[in-house]
Structure 1
Amino acid sequence: MNDSAEKSNKICGRMCIEITGCLGSPLSVGSGEQGETDADVILSAWGAPFIPGSAIAGSLRAYSKKLGLGRESDQLFGAPDDVDPGSESDRQSRIFCYDTFLEKVKMSIRDGVKLEEKKTPRHKSKYEMQIIERGAKFRMRLEIIERKACMAENKDIQKVWNTEQTWIRRWAQGFAAGELRIGAKSNRGFGKLEIEEVRVKKFNMEVKDEYLAWLDWHWDHEHAFEQAEFIDFKMNEEETKNFRAEHVLEVPLRIPNTLLVRTYSETFGKAEDVPDYGQLTVSGKGEQAVIPGSSFAGAFRSHIAKIVNGIAHLHSWEEAQKRLEPFFGTWTEEKKRVEKLVSSRVIFEEVLVNGGHSLPITRNSIDRFTGGTIKGALFEEVPWAGGTALLRIRWKKDKDKESNIYGNISDPSSKVICGMLLWSIKDLQAGILSIGGETAVGRGIFCRPDEKDSDILLDGNALDEKTTQEYMQMAASWCKGGEYAAGE
């Protein structure tokens, strides 16, 4: 080997990772086009939806930083954002994230609208977005390159691989736990992946003729992953304590009457056998009702704003919305632009309704003066009757303030968030806070299930009444003073 080759940062090994599974919730990876909706899904040249490698790389890097692996992830993903291009600290990423194509894809359209304080729609706030429905199969491919510089401290490549397999395992755990999400609307339940299997194929370029084996190898070969290592991504108790990047509230609910989160027939093209509107269901098949995370997010934030407004004696509901921005993200008024946007720390997962059934109803508008029907005012709607659901609400931990106490919270801001969420949860289970449309006629009311397993869970543990009261009182103290309670 000549001197120039010896001095170069040569490749010492390659690790090829394959992660298989399916979409656990709808996915929206936008193309920037508005041909079909306001936000179309990105498609390949032959019309197949896929997840760009850049979206995967960005999500993996952001999640690694949430886990407190900032410097370690920079060593893998390349230089941090604050490094000047071309400087000594600048370096290329060692991980390649390939585009991930999907199989068994079902495309559909979701619509939404921003509501004001009294649940009236904001002017020109209606939108439609194209999504890939849950259940689509995927095969994600990653490749990590080991170079000579990476082995400066550990000359044994196996030690380097062991470190990087720890990262891969944490990513898989993040996907499986629902903390690592991809694409748009990830704070409202989109982009969740269900992992089935993680396989790793290694090539040690220090071994004679191993580079020839890599040249002959291909992802799609029938025996490509023979003698590959399988990564067990199930978390034990210790890992659950230390590596979770989010707190999770699990709230059991029951629908005693009917629910109507509307989807309109006009969105998909009107047909004679299609009702004018009905409850949103999985893939639009009418077999299982679904409640978008955005429906819960909007209802919770509006309800909490009213409570904050009352406790803090603010001038308006809009002012209360501004106070909630550190927790729930930037709230903007119409025609006003905000230079710096704040992302919500709170994530509402999409909720599937178990049981229940659709309930077609034909209605007509009545003339208040004559008591007769109004011509052309006949319409059909299909609400959902009955069923149970499990609402999951997450919020991001502040790693600098959180201690690893499983089932408990040490960060004061997290306690305030939990307390405010519990205000709404209590009112939701009491039937005071309703979700969806036609709430004025009794739809969208929830209650607590009758079963024994109906406790609210915080990070997997039942939330007792003493802790519940502590967090709600701390939230009230924050509302009054804008600061956290003394001694916390």
Structure 2
Amino acid sequence: MKNVLKRQVFYIQIQLESPLNVASGEDEWTDADILRDFEGNPFVSGSSLAGAMRAYVGERENEWNLFGYSADDTNGKMSSLFISDLIFDEEAVMGIRDGVGLNENKVAKAGSKYDMEILETGMKGHFYLELVIREGDDEEAMLCALSSVFAGIQQGEIRLGRKKTRGFGAFKIIKLVPKAYDRENYLEYAEAYKISFWENKPDQLENWLHIANASNRMVHIEVPLVMKGGISIRQYAAKKNAPDFVHLTSNGIPVIPGSSFAGAIRHRVKQILLDLAEEGAESPVRKNEVEQIISRMFGNASDKEGHASNIIISEARILGARPLTMVRTGISRFESAVRDGALYKERTYVDGHFKLEIAVRKGKEPKDSNWMIGILLLAIKDLENGYLAVGGQTAVGRGIFAPAVSEEYPNGVIFIDGKPGLEMQFIAEALNGLCENKG
């Protein structure tokens, strides 16, 4: 065993940027109850944090530098990074999200209804990292890799728990304080895991983000949109005297979940690819390859060939929207009369604005993701121009959007990695290069 030269402890305070479900495997209250300690307080295990970080670092670097490895009974390396559980600093704000699987005709699949327990957006918590430097370790490389983890968290590229590619599990660091311990001050290590020790220490997050390699692992797309009417993504009310159907909210703010955007965009991308396949010999894609391309873009849940989505769609918080409660009734299409027992009350939201945020994983070569982005942008253009609706009751005008305009961008704008006006370049590249990159 090599001698320990130094220990560097990091106190990290975080805030949830989207709902979080780290499941316990229990289903007492929902189909996926969140993980709790023996006192009933929710937490995120250190193993969940470590898994998310290791997967991120391992995409390009040698993750064993930080996380170690085990080759066989005699060869291996102990992990240099120890990660505590994530503990929340305030009373938990809980919620329940329900959903149902839909087929391509937006009809519910039999047996696909589910619900899950979540921690709501905005909750704050903290955890500790401890980096152990031993003889022979490349300290500079280890600190650089760790700084890239901090940058990945801030960019929303490291997420926790379930439904990570559909908006859940995003969090941000709001305070980071490191302290090194060596033979000169090793007695102070006894205070390292007491929260009172860190409370008045200055934040050093920006210093560590400056160390990180500036290259993102994903291409980030932002689309500012406004609603042209109401939105209907139902959260079924259980409170007495509440409307029968209410639009989904998070901490009282109406939201559009990533899964709703993903379903609509995936369906439109498939339509676009099928239309391209019908164009004949000049088409960059053949009809029998459409499902393969869709699977590569949006993931595959099959047991044998399953893989995560390469497209991450965040949950959108609708700002400036007005609640609107309506009483409606079902009408018999044959009698043109009210159906018995079909009266119901519904609350929707109208006239809001939001930012659609999508991230696409980069491949080893730029062309590996550029074709994916180009095809995706074609569907986003339909969404932006009101040709693609999201959510329920789209046949009666719900879920239709328009570009958010400003003095600087009177026709609306799509930002790709923070830069406007690049979408046509990506679309042209996708159509020219899709055939050779789809494999």
Between the aligned partners of 1:289 and 1:364, the Cα distance in structure 2 is 24
Residues 23-63 of structure 1, C-alpha deviations (whole Å, 9 max, x = no match):
01111111111111111111111111101000111111111
Equivalent pairs counted in the alignment come to 429
Counterpart in the other structure of 1:220: 194
Q: Check conservation: 1:201, 1:225, Cα contact below 8 A.
A: no
Between the aligned partners of 1:139 and 1:104, the Cα distance in structure 2 is 14
How far off is 1:343 after superposition? Answer: 1.4
Between the aligned partners of 2:212 and 2:86, the Cα distance in structure 1 is 28
Counterpart in the other structure of 2:222: 250
Task: Give the secondary structure class of the aligned counterpart of 2:178.
Answer: strand
Aligned match for 1:324, one of 272, 294, 298: 294
Does 2:136 align with 1:178? Answer: no
How far off is 1:230 after superposition? Answer: 2.6
Q: Check conservation: 2:388, 2:400, Cα contact below 8 A.
A: yes
Does 2:338 align with 1:345? Answer: no
Q: Check conservation: 2:165, 2:311, Cα contact below 8 A.
A: yes
Q: 1:367 to 1:226 in 2, by over 3 A?
A: closer
Counterpart in the other structure of 1:334: none
Trace 1:451-466 onto structure 2 (pairs within 5 A).
451-452=406-407, 453=409, 454-464=412-422
Does 2:248 align with 1:280? Answer: yes
Counterpart in the other structure of 2:260: 295
Does 2:347 align with 1:382? Answer: yes
Trace 1:389-468 onto structure 2 (pairs within 5 A).
389-398=354-363, 400-401=364-365, 411-452=366-407, 453=409, 454-464=412-422, 468=423
Counterpart in the other structure of 1:53: 46
Counterpart in the other structure of 1:37: 30
Counterpart in the other structure of 2:74: 87
Counterpart in the other structure of 2:172: 194
Counterpart in the other structure of 2:120: 133
Counterpart in the other structure of 1:69: 61
Does 2:17 align with 1:24? Answer: yes
Does 2:204 align with 1:230? Answer: yes
Task: Give the secondary structure class of the aligned counterpart of 1:365.
Answer: strand
Counterpart in the other structure of 2:144: 166
Amino acid at match of 1:253: L
Between the aligned partners of 2:113 and 2:274, the Cα distance in structure 1 is 27
Q: 1:372 to 1:317 in 2, by over 3 A?
A: farther
Does 2:186 align with 1:211? Answer: yes
Q: Check conservation: 1:117, 1:317, Cα contact below 8 A.
A: no
Q: 1:57 to 1:319 in 2, by over 3 A?
A: same
Between the aligned partners of 1:21 and 1:294, the Cα distance in structure 2 is 25
How far off is 1:295 after superposition? Answer: 0.7
Q: Check conservation: 2:225, 2:353, Cα contact below 8 A.
A: yes
Q: 1:204 to 1:263 in 2, by over 3 A?
A: same
Counterpart in the other structure of 2:436: 483
Between the aligned partners of 1:326 and 1:375, the Cα distance in structure 2 is 47
Identical columns (%): 31
Q: 1:221 to 1:138 in 2, by over 3 A?
A: closer
Instruction: Return the structure number with greater strand share.
Output: 2
How far off is 1:415 after superposition? Answer: 1.6
Counterpart in the other structure of 2:102: 115
Q: TM-score, normalised by structure 2?
A: 0.90
Between the aligned partners of 1:362 and 1:439, the Cα distance in structure 2 is 18
Task: Give the secondary structure class of the aligned counterpart of 2:276.
Answer: helix
How far off is 1:225 after superposition? Answer: 6.9
Task: Give the secondary structure class of the aligned counterpart of 2:273.
Answer: helix
Trace 1:144-159 onto structure 2 (pairs within 5 A).
144-150=131-137
Q: TM-score, normalised by structure 1?
A: 0.82
Between the aligned partners of 1:352 and 1:271, the Cα distance in structure 2 is 23
Q: Check conservation: 1:433, 1:445, Cα contact below 8 A.
A: yes
Between the aligned partners of 2:199 and 2:329, the Cα distance in structure 1 is 62
How far off is 1:484 after superposition? Answer: 4.0
Q: Check conservation: 1:305, 1:317, Cα contact below 8 A.
A: no
Q: Check conservation: 1:349, 1:393, Cα contact below 8 A.
A: yes
Between the aligned partners of 2:361 and 2:258, the Cα distance in structure 1 is 16
How far off is 1:199 after superposition? Answer: 0.5
Between the aligned partners of 2:203 and 2:343, the Cα distance in structure 1 is 62
Q: Check conservation: 1:253, 1:448, Cα contact below 8 A.
A: yes
How far off is 1:125 after superposition? Answer: 1.6
Does 2:321 align with 1:356? Answer: yes
Amino acid at match of 2:295: E
Between the aligned partners of 2:226 and 2:197, the Cα distance in structure 1 is 49
Q: Check conservation: 1:200, 1:231, Cα contact below 8 A.
A: no
Q: Check conservation: 1:348, 1:394, Cα contact below 8 A.
A: yes
Counterpart in the other structure of 2:283: none
